[in-house]
Chain A
Amino acid sequence: MTIAGRRVPFTACIGGVIVLLTVVMILFAPWIAPYQQTKIVGGVWDPPNAHTWLGTDSIGRDMLSRLIYGGRTSVSIALIATFFTMVIGVGLGFLAASTNKVVDNILSRIVDILLAMPILIFGLMVFAVLGTSIPIMIATISILESTRVFRLARAVAMSITVMDYVQVARLRGEGVGWIILREVLPNAVPPLVAEFGLRFCFTFLFIASLSFLGLGIQPPAADWGSMVHDNAQAISFGGYAPLYPAAAIAIVTIGVNLIVDWLLSIHAMPAGASAGAEV
């Protein structure tokens, strides 16, 4: 298979299939799921059977249905958080690289302070003070994760702002807005797309960890992290229940990662390789 004249490696195809299936799953959850996510349909930790394909959970709800609905929550919150992460990180990163040293220093030092604190501990602190709700969670994750994106975006923009075409625009007297949006951003898209994928994985895992700790998405809404938490006890009785949501988390993360790897490998090709190919 080829996209835009490039051969797509096998691993990226697997990643693509996983991501595609996940997207279909979360978009059409109500039509795909056999039961309501909160409906009790069997006993506690029933093993897989003809009615409930993956068995039931700690209070007898259908595991497969909860998995499908849970994916909806986990993935969409991670997507929204990642989106804001990128907007904040890229925006400030580009600003630091395109304006002057004072702005750069102030922003970079603030980021350094935030980076100095482990993200999970800091998150726990914020939730302890402000309580847990989805908007607060998204805001906290976006701000904390954006420090990582800031670093990358700043470095990428730095390597672009030294190009002569940016100098041309500056000497013409263009403002910061034009420099960032028209000169820098279009050339920074490939690494930033890859970063989006990578950040999504981290955010996704972070949300899962928070839910597992009971700080994330609150019941009765299903989500994969809290499903692992709720069903963890089943392991002691030889049940598989917590493994399904855990596997779902792993598969989505790996799927996105496979695509990111491919995107990064394209970006790692020598500069001008695409230009040269057209001659």
Chain B
Amino acid sequence: MSEDLLLQIRGLRIEASNGQVLTDGIDLDLHRGEVLGLIGESGAGKSTLGLAPLVYARPGCSITGGEILLAGRDIRKLDTNERRGLRGVRVAYVAQSAASAFNPSMTLMAQVCEGPVRHGLMGRREAEARAVELFAALDLPNPQTFGARYPHEASGGQLQRAMAAMAMSCQPDLLVLDEPTTALDVTTQIEVLAKLRELIREYRTAALYVTHDLSVVAQIADRIMVLRHGRMVETGATEQILMTPREPYTTALVSERRAAMQGHGVAEAARRETVLAVQDVTVTFGPVKAVSEVAFTVSRGETVAVVGESGSGKSTLAYAAVGQLLPAAGSFRFGRDLLPPSYKARSREQRQRIQLIYQLPDIALNPRQKIGMILGRPVAFFDRVSGAAVGTRVAELLTLVGLPADFVERFPGQLSGGQKQRICIARALAARPALVICDEVTSALDPLVAEEILKLLKELQDDLGVSYLFITHDLGTVKRIAHRVVVMLKGQMVAEGPTAEIFENPPDDYTRKLLLSVPEMRTDWLDEALARREIWRAGPTPALA
């Protein structure tokens, strides 16, 4: 077994130039052919740790202590040239966003072959033949000619697989996968995941799989290491971590995922009066129909989730609802009134009663304004009050979203991601809205923080009776918060109805595919899902139909 030991990390310490410790005292063993999942929230140091076997630290960071042994040799002691020989050849890296990791001005073939050719391992022709083999193994369309494409000519999922091909081109001993499926849609993720796993098994490559998603790592990892604040919390076999976690932090992570998996939405009470009616809205960008004849309603005190993958037009719909984009056809009704298409033509009352919360709190809050001003302005603007009354209302809003009142003196930069999103929620509430449109409000947040935000939104709904139009790609979120769901595909509305109904009996193929693609936190889910998909792909038999 000991000669099987590929990577050994002892007491690894990585620091930023400002003295901040990113990882400390990390011990890690990895055998050939083994996949270790590195799990943690943002800032846990999992990507930093993932880069360590390449003896690489991001700009501004440096490895300051510990040993990194690759097949028994301390690679920290290598000089620049030897390190260059190691990277890509013995240890390869797959980045999170393939779309930005490829050079847009070179063909994929040129980039996949770059490694073996530049390192002098293969001739150009041999490398190309091997690339075609890899393309075929990864199930890319027309493997013979796929390499002639430029990055913009391939889809996100294809690019991510091409990236894996690039990493495998030198047949490395160790593969570092940094969130390779996070930027992908669920229906694409499942394919990439299946192919990655096949590739790793076939070549008996060891891999470090960095991710924040427990259900994804469950499919591919033999062991899991949980990280937090740059330190190891717990490590163990995948089954053990998922079934019988020992540490409270791991338990919290696992139960959060479990909660996301279970349940079938919030039971719907009788629908009350309609707050927002979407009437056959079509939005076009030039010749492209981003949203096409979508129609549904949101009632008072209810949450309607609009679900779809990237490019389905769900965010476009949200922007049209607030009047930021003008629909080409159709209209929005607020209560009984027809809403003017542009926000400029809407009355103060109309602008006030519909509020939008954005996906990225970082750019939704002015970094040069204090919280007191960010919240105080809408209060003063909409409530038409000034002076002490503003301060009182701001304090009230901060309490409402669970933040201390002394935050008024802070700038957004001094807040964590979850706190920033709470401020965004408070700002929307400052307008005393009837409808809050939430555009992917939890997708930029860590799972535990996202859960807190969802809980807060739910509580606020119970207390204030606001309605939510919840734009999301995450079905787990939908299950936990939505009374009704609207499923969108390429601008079209493919399903609409109470969440439980849609989830139990998907009315159409796409919705079924979407539901089947959400990874569950079991190690055997991927095999099952692939099998089910095969059956489903073969088409409903005439007898069943």
Contact = CB atoms under 8 A, between A and B. Distances in A.
Contacts of B369: 182, 186
A261 interface: no
Contact of B366 (A171, A187, A274, A277): A187
A187 B322 CA distance: 25
A177 interface: no
A133 interface: no
A186 B351 contact: no
B204 to A, nearest CB: 39
B407 to A, nearest CB: 14
Given A171-B351, A173-B351, A164 B368 contact: no
B323 interface: yes
A229 B323 CA distance: 63
Given A173-B348, A186-B366, A278-B414, A168 B360 contact: no
A170 B362 CA distance: 18
B180 interface: no
B240 interface: no
B363 A163 contact: yes
B413 A173 contact: no
Contacts of A165: 363-366
Nearest to B360: A164
B367 interface: yes
The interface centre, meaning the residue of A165, A272, A274 with most chain B CB atoms within 10 A of its CB, is A165
A36 interface: no
B510 interface: no
Nearest to B361: A164
Contacts of A277: 18
Interface residues of B, number: 29
A275 B18 CA distance: 13
Nearest to B322: A171
Contacts of B381: 172-174
Contact of A167 (B324, B412, B414, B427): B324
B92 to A, nearest CB: 26
Interface residues of A, number: 21
A172 B368 contact: no
Contacts of A272: 362, 413
A183 B364 CA distance: 11
A167 B324 CA distance: 8
B356 interface: yes
Contacts of A171: 322-324, 343, 351, 356
B18 to A, nearest CB: 6
A275 B366 contact: no
Contact of B363 (A164, A173, A182, A278): A164
Interface in A242-276: 272, 274-275
Contacts of B343: 170-171, 173
A172 B364 contact: no
A165 B378 CA distance: 12
A183 B366 contact: yes
Contacts of B412: 275
A186 B413 CA distance: 14
A179 to B, nearest CB: 11
B135 interface: no
Given A167-B324, A278-B413, A172 B378 contact: yes
Given A170-B343, A172-B351, A275 B367 contact: yes
Contacts of A186: 366, 368-369
Contact of A164 (B364, B377, B413): B364
The interface centre, meaning the residue of B43, B363, B366 with most chain A CB atoms within 10 A of its CB, is B366
A187 B351 contact: no
A192 to B, nearest CB: 13
B358 interface: yes
A278 B18 CA distance: 10
A173 B43 CA distance: 37
Contacts of B363: 163-165
A182 B368 CA distance: 9
A75 B219 CA distance: 69
Given A164-B358, A171-B322, A187 B364 contact: no
Interface string B330-350: 000000000000010000100
B506 to A, nearest CB: 34
A274 B322 CA distance: 32
A181 B382 CA distance: 20
A169 B360 CA distance: 16
A183 B377 CA distance: 12
A178 B21 CA distance: 41
A168 B364 contact: yes
B19 to A, nearest CB: 11
17 contacts: A164-B363, A170-B343, A171-B324, A171-B343, A171-B351, A172-B351, A172-B382, A172-B431, A173-B351, A182-B366, A186-B368, A186-B369, A187-B368, A272-B413, A275-B367, A275-B413, A278-B414
Given A164-B363, A171-B323, A171-B343, 5 more contacts: A163-B363, A163-B366, A164-B364, A168-B364, A275-B367
Please list the 8 inter-chain residue pairs (A to B) with the smallest Cβ-Cβ separation, ordered nearest first.
A275-B413, A186-B368, A164-B364, A165-B366, A164-B358, A163-B363, A164-B363, A171-B343
